[in-house]
Amino acid sequence: MSTAPRQLNLNLFIYPNGHHEAAWRHPLAAHQRVLDVSFYQELAQQAEAAKFDAVFFADGLGIGDGVRYASRFHLEPITLINALAAATQKIGFIATASTTFYDPYTLARLLAFTDHLSHGRVGWNIVTSSLKRAAQNYGLAEHPSHAARYARAHEFVEAIGRLWDSWEDGAFINDPASGLFADTDRIHPAQFSGEHLSVAGALNVPRSPQGRPVYVQAGSSEAGRDFAAQYAEAIFTAHQTLESAQAFYRDVKERATQRGRNPAHVKILPGLSPFIGSTEAEAKALQREFDELIQPDFSLLQLKNQLGLDVDLRGHDLDAPFPLHLIPDNPDQAEHSRFQLVLDIVKREQPTLRQLLQKLAGARGHFVLAGTPEQIADHIQTWFEQGAADGINVMPPWLPGGFEVFTREVVPILRQRGLFREEYSGSTLRDHFGLPRPESQFAPALAQAQAA
């Protein structure tokens, strides 16, 4: 057992202009740099200077309904993190990629190479893609059901794990004198054959520095939690209350334990979108500036999607109570992972439609906090120490300033309180997260142990 005090993990979650849905309209946001690689390289360098664990990018495989109103589009994560890794030395990068719409051989190569090129700094956020129009972009007549997507996801993770393990660590010989480049006795075909996919061969690249990328997950449905408990080494999650986060934390750690995993190797990082001011009033005033830039037509479209509604919410009185009767009794909640969260807000706070939209505008259901640096640090410390979080998924409301102020004002307080590292102790993402490097499942010792 380590005797070092438990330390926070901090992840920077980058949305192009920041997480507030109106960020791109505020003069503080660098909206004109939204497609400029140097903008993201500077943010990654800033996160590295602050000793963050990783930078994370979400993804979506189709154009969003609200593209007219707001910059809710997704940067392609894999190309981007390679451009950012080339401009940094230590910080990790987590790319979202879909088990429904990638082939395992393609993704295995892309991420194995990213791990090589970055010297072991890659994580994979495993998603099954809830966006219905994605299926049509991939030639499918209809979007696979939640159950079918998760069934394929299980096969996918199994298959891609075999690919990443297919070269044992010692298989890459590269000895000019003997002329032996690879020890083919230590390269193993994946030989995975499932109902949804199959993969025959070995990968065509030596095992990567981390063995395989860090597995990250963000599903909150029942199936998503179970999947996370089985595979995830880090989990992003959204909670509006400490109690909800605590219950999630307990539940997932228990599920992992029941599966024979070390719960310490499942890092749970709730999201936090902080508006920071030198007084609480100043912070709240700043938040109001952003909220006033919201375009209700976009917000209503987003809410409709989050709740899986069939009706158009536009035209409803924004200042009347939220029209609870519109919410279906029993939606396929799995398809809409924010459904329960939004419903809880409505029941707890009884907001008007406008109030609900503003509540969600900050970070799509993630916790938004406007306060002083001390108040932000207090929140993080409370969640960290009271069984709700191993770290925080930092979601700046706008960029770059909304992140810069966090690193300048909040991170030093976390350090003074002994909660966050002064310096990296390793150089891979596994090192930062305190995760073990997995051995290849084909390695003789492991294969023997498993056979016994």
- The answer to the question of whether 221 is labelled as a binding residue is yes
Q: What region, left, alpha or beta, does residue 261 occupy, with left being phi > 0 and alpha being psi -120 to 50 degrees?
A: beta
C-alpha span between 19 and 353 (Å, rounded): 20
Closest CA to 229 of 157, 337, 147, 131: 157
Sequence-ordered strand ranges (E) for 148-292: 172-175, 180-182, 192-193, 198-199, 214-217, 234-237, 267-276
| Minimum CB distance to its own copies smaller for 40 or for 383 | 40
- DSSP output for 5-36: PP--EEEEE--BTBSSTTGGGSTTS-GGGTT-
Write the burial class of residue 352 (CB in 10 Å: 0-12 exposed, 13-18 middle, 19+ buried). middle
- The answer to the question of whether 208 is labelled as a binding residue is no
Min. distance of Cβ 300 from its own copies in angstroms? Answer: 14
Min. distance of Cβ 368 from its own copies in angstroms? Answer: 21
| Minimum CB distance to its own copies smaller for 354 or for 417 | 354
Min. distance of Cβ 265 from its own copies in angstroms? Answer: 27
Closest CA to 402 of 35, 47, 8, 32: 47
| Minimum CB distance to its own copies smaller for 117 or for 327 | 117
| Minimum CB distance to its own copies smaller for 190 or for 389 | 190
Min. distance of Cβ 314 from its own copies in angstroms? Answer: 15
| Minimum CB distance to its own copies smaller for 202 or for 269 | 202
Min. distance of Cβ 136 from its own copies in angstroms? Answer: 4
- The answer to the question of whether 74 is labelled as a binding residue is no
Closest CA to 239 of 364, 378, 396, 354: 364
Q: Which residues are annotated as a binding site for FMN?
A: 59, 96, 146, 150, 220-221
Annotated binding site: 59, 96, 146, 150, 220-221
